[in-house]
Structure 1
Amino acid sequence: MMKKLVLNGSAKNRGHIHGEQMREDISEVLDYYRSRFLTDRGKLESHVHLLMQKVLSFRPHYKEEMDAIAAAAGVEPFWIYCINARSELMSSPVECSSVAFPKLGLAGQNWDWAEALEGHLALADIELENGHRFLTMTEPGMLAKIGMNSAGLGVCLNILPAKQKLTGLPVHILLRALLESQSLQEARLLIEEHGAGKASHIMVSDQSETLAVELSPDQPWFQSTEQDSYLHTNHYLQSGQAQPTSSRPCTETRLKRLQETLLYNPELNLKTMRQLLDNNEKPFPVLRAYSYHELTGNGGTLVTLMMDLGKRQMLLREGFDPERGFESYSLA
């Protein structure tokens, strides 16, 4: 079972618990990331400083929480900043796939990343001082990633290709703020103001609607989600935003396969969503066993997550075995 973190109290207190309980995992994951970040420490520091200035002007207590994680884990704060900004430091559209059935309040995804993180992930159950609560599957030292909150919002993420330096508010910091949101309207305002400077696709869903947006270095592009199903992989659907990438045949094939599978599954429910996310047909499987990627090294599907937002229920499964069962969590 995935490690559980129960975090509450002040930002400093939450960070302390996180750093103390994930100390060994943070150390091991950092060994991996240090081997993948820029080897020029000066250039890396310059980029991270730029990104952290955005965090400080956005919500300074996030830095306080990161500093507390670092202190409790016995690592330099700089490296915790790197973990929280790692999508901007090593942007790579590895093979994640997202699915939403907006009118039914169902949303989910596969999260594909480096094999080095296997066994080091955590499900954080976080309660803020105002009583707002959320569950997020996240990496050691990272404030948040994907998950669901007590207001009935669910958040999913796909990384998109980028050819230029990304200098906006780090996407994982935005994900944390979205998980703290109380409504889709609040989420949309956050994205409109802080969505640029990234290369990611984000879905935010509630029990009857989905907000989907492609974040580019220049601006956010909101996508149409009026249809009964909404699918996204790792390329821009927004006209004029296509960027050449070696992974394009993979991401386009996966999207087409998801679309075709839905043609034969008119009944939209969690069972259908699981069928979509469990598709491991080669050469470009949605549910992917480990294979080599030039940026991440060996990588594949680490987690599959599905959410029924009307019921405040989240289903979580580690690994790429479609026969493996899901763990169930509730915020009801």
Structure 2
Amino acid sequence: MTVEPFPLIDLSGPPEARGRSYGARAADRIRRGLGHYQEQLARLGLDRMAIRRAAHRQVRAITAFDDGHSAEIRGIAEGAGVEVEDIVLLNARTEILRQARRGAEAAADGCTGAVLLPEATRDGRLLHGQNWDWKVECVDTAVVLRIRQEHGPDYLTFTEAGGLARSGLNAAGIGLTANNLESDRDGTAEGVPLPLIRRRVLESADLALAIHAVRTTPKTASNNMMLSHAEGFAVSLECAPDESFALQPQDGILVHANHWLSPAALARLRDTGLDATPDSLYRQERVRSRLATGRPLDITDLRDALFDEFGSPWSVCRPPRKGLSGNLTATVAMVLLEPARGEMQIAPLPAVNRRFTFYRLDGTPAETAPLD
């Protein structure tokens, strides 16, 4: 099966101008993304006006959080020829879907992530990777952004078109992936949409400020964010809307799927997402056990762990299948980060496609190659 690589979009300049360029170059993918989220929300009983109202309620939190992000969203909308609320929807879809959900109908994206510290790798370089499990349609709506900042480190991010960030790395050596969590605190307060917090992480020159952004920014929805640094640090921050819980690597390995692990978190809140992602229990252990070999590891080992097919189609590497919500889901992308090299490898639909595209911070064109 031939699957096209995710397009690389180079951006620079002030936020609103950068947004216009982004919106114009990703307009088709933005419109496709809007279409399938509007359809999903319609199944939950929200018509276009209700969706617009839900998106508009997010605008105040976005503006208060970062004027630059707000300006970039306005620019994206102008460039793509859509309404500002449409781009807000793409950035706040987790929050809006969760507030609109009925039972498991709007179950959020999955994901399995892992970090290998230098002490665990053959060449002493930190490795960070993730499978992003979500709607199959997103293979045609995601992009890679390479952004040159006037003030701050340049960065690469893989995201849904119109979104500000999902996973990625920056020139300061910071890596980021994120995976879904749910709790009984979700939807109890207004917060900042998750892609904006992830963008703040990638814009940061200092790891401490990146961690601060994740820990202290109020959220509407729970989430887990895995942060790493090329010089040898990783942490998994399990975030409820109003507090977070840190998990550290063991023996140089850090793994997280879609259920809460922190004993402190489990003593304070209720995991409401595990019934919709029961495979998270063994995905977590399958990846960790495949990496905990006691021998030095390389990126092939990380990649092979994320290709694990145990329990397929409810597996670490998920082929297209219907989830409990009725949506057709899959591992949309396998993302591998090498922050010290400023390099990100991505395979779209890796269960059926094993061709990776290499995206680099140094400005070289994207390059696609099959597995060795």
- Relative to the length of structure 1, the TM-score reads 0.93
Question: In 2, distance between residues paired with 1:218 and 1:131?
Answer: 28
Aligned residue for 2:101?
none
- Are the aligned partners of 1:265 and 1:272 in contact in 2 as well (CA < 8 Å)? no
Q: Name whichever of 321-330 and 131-140 sits farther off.
A: 321-330
Amino acid at match of 1:251: S
Aligned residue for 2:322?
292
2:201 aligned with 1:172? no
The Cα of 1:59 is off from its aligned counterpart by: 0.5
The Cα of 1:173 is off from its aligned counterpart by: 0.6
Counterpart among 82, 88, 112 of residue 75 in structure 1? 82
Counterpart among 43, 49, 53 of residue 60 in structure 2? 53
Aligned residue for 2:133?
112
String of CA shifts for 1:94-118, please: whole Å, max 9, x gaps: 3310000134421110111111122
The Cα of 1:226 is off from its aligned counterpart by: 5.3
Amino acid at match of 2:151: N
Instruction: Kindly report which structure 2 residues correspond to 1:182-201, keeping only aligned pairs within 5 A, or say none.
Output: 182-201=205-224
Question: In 2, distance between residues paired with 1:296 and 1:316?
Answer: 27
Question: In 1, distance between residues paired with 2:86 and 2:227?
Answer: 29
The Cα of 1:5 is off from its aligned counterpart by: 0.8
Q: Name whichever of 275-284 and 258-267 sits farther off.
A: 258-267
Q: Name whichever of 100-109 and 173-182 sits farther off.
A: 100-109
Question: In 2, distance between residues paired with 1:226 and 1:117?
Answer: 33
Aligned residue for 2:22?
18
| Cα distance, 1:222–1:51 mapped onto 2, change above 3 Å | farther
Q: What stretches of structure 1 of length at least 5 have no aligned partner?
A: none
Q: Name whichever of 127-136 and 74-83 sits farther off.
A: 127-136
Q: Name whichever of 100-109 and 63-72 sits farther off.
A: 100-109
- Are the aligned partners of 1:98 and 1:110 in contact in 2 as well (CA < 8 Å)? yes
Aligned-residue RMSD, C-alpha:
2.1
| Cα distance, 1:105–1:195 mapped onto 2, change above 3 Å | farther
- Are the aligned partners of 1:15 and 1:68 in contact in 2 as well (CA < 8 Å)? yes
Question: In 2, distance between residues paired with 1:57 and 1:201?
Answer: 23
String of CA shifts for 1:216-269, please: whole Å, max 9, x gaps: 123111222354100000011122244143234210011121222234463222
Secondary structure in structure 2 of the residue aligned to 1:234:
coil
- Relative to the length of structure 2, the TM-score reads 0.83
The Cα of 1:42 is off from its aligned counterpart by: 5.8
Question: In 1, distance between residues paired with 2:294 and 2:24?
Answer: 46
2:167 aligned with 1:146? yes
Equivalent pairs counted in the alignment come to 332
Question: In 2, distance between residues paired with 1:60 and 1:309?
Answer: 28
String of CA shifts for 1:300-329, please: whole Å, max 9, x gaps: 011111112222222111112376132223
Aligned residue for 1:270?
299
Moved >6 Å (runs of 4+): none
String of CA shifts for 1:22-76, please: whole Å, max 9, x gaps: 1111111111010122515565445434432221111012111111111121111
2:69 aligned with 1:62? yes
The Cα of 1:83 is off from its aligned counterpart by: 0.5
Counterpart among 105, 108, 112 of residue 97 in structure 1? 112
Counterpart among 271, 282, 288 of residue 243 in structure 1? 271
Secondary structure in structure 1 of the residue aligned to 2:340:
coil
The Cα of 1:196 is off from its aligned counterpart by: 4.2
- Are the aligned partners of 1:278 and 1:322 in contact in 2 as well (CA < 8 Å)? no
**Equivalent pairs: percent with the same residue?**
25
String of CA shifts for 1:171-222, please: whole Å, max 9, x gaps: 1110011010112211112122205433110011111101220111231112
Secondary structure in structure 2 of the residue aligned to 1:204:
strand
Question: In 2, distance between residues paired with 1:126 and 1:296?
Answer: 36
Question: In 1, distance between residues paired with 2:77 and 2:108?
Answer: 28
- Are the aligned partners of 1:197 and 1:215 in contact in 2 as well (CA < 8 Å)? no
2:53 aligned with 1:30? no
String of CA shifts for 1:101-150, please: whole Å, max 9, x gaps: 13442111011111112222211111122263111111111111111111
Q: Name whichever of 142-151 and 88-97 sits farther off.
A: 88-97
| Cα distance, 1:23–1:301 mapped onto 2, change above 3 Å | same
